[in-house]
Amino acid sequence: MSEIIIRRIDESNQQALQLPNEAFDSPGKLVVTRSEAGWHYHEILFESPQRQLFPNENYELELIQRSGLAVGAFEEDMCMGIAILEKQWNHYLYLSDLKVAAAYRRRGISSMLLDKAIEIAKTMELKGLSTIAQDNNLGANRFYLKYGFTIGGFNTKDYHFTNQREKSDIYYYLDF
């Protein structure tokens, strides 16, 4: 097995942006509340894991580069994970997408992608990373909390007029 290299996605490797989404199982949801003392959370586990699959995106490098950048995890020329990032007005680099091919999950690739995003954000003189996770994507929520993100907001209305109206979004921030 070769070494995994994290690098920016550019014209030479932009095919990596077509990495398909793959299904994952979520064992539960993160329940978020707020008191005067701050944000609190606990997990509710489902009776059986819920299989989820996000629709595939049609990323175009030129559009990504207008407001941000993309980084990829490569083993030789094969892409196994990507992070799509957008520079925000509030001095955060917003992580709009983070995905790793199913065969390569649980090998630290998401952390390696975020490590590279932080390195780049610091060179851009940004102050942190931000992202959003659905409350019923317990794996993503656990990952962001373990990585060091803190909860900065919770939105119960994002999906109100959709067939996913029972879902909520949790807003995460990681300050440097």
Structure tokens at 89: 């007005």
- Residue 81: per-residue pLDDT: 98
- What is the pLDDT averaged over residues 5-28? 97
What fold, for 4-175?
Answer: Aminopeptidase (3.40.630)
- The whole-chain average pLDDT of the chain stands at 96
- The vertex-17 CA angle with 15 and 19, nearest 5°, equals 95
For 84-118, how does the pLDDT look when each residue is reduced to its tens digit (9 = 90+)?
A: 999 999 999 999 999 999 999 999 999 999 999 99
- Residue 171: per-residue pLDDT: 98
How many angstroms separate the CA atoms of 93 and 129, rounded? 5
For 114-164, how does the pLDDT look when each residue is reduced to its tens digit (9 = 90+)?
A: 999 999 999 999 999 999 999 999 999 999 999 999 999 999 999 999 888
- Residue 2: per-residue pLDDT: 78
> For the whole model, what pTM was predicted?
0.95
Q: Which amino acid is at 175?
A: D
Cα 41 to chain center, whole Å?
Answer: 19
Which residues lie below 8 Å from residue 24, measured CB to CB, with a gap of 6+?
51, 52, 53, 102, 105, 139
How many angstroms separate the CA atoms of 43 and 161, rounded? 25
For 22-79, how does the pLDDT look when each residue is reduced to its tens digit (9 = 90+)?
A: 999 999 999 999 999 999 999 999 999 999 999 999 999 999 999 999 999 999 989 9
Q: Which amino acid is at 176?
A: F
Which string of DSSP letters, residue by residue, matches 68-87?
EEEEEEEETTEEEEEEEEEE
41 pairs with which residues across the strands? Answer: 32
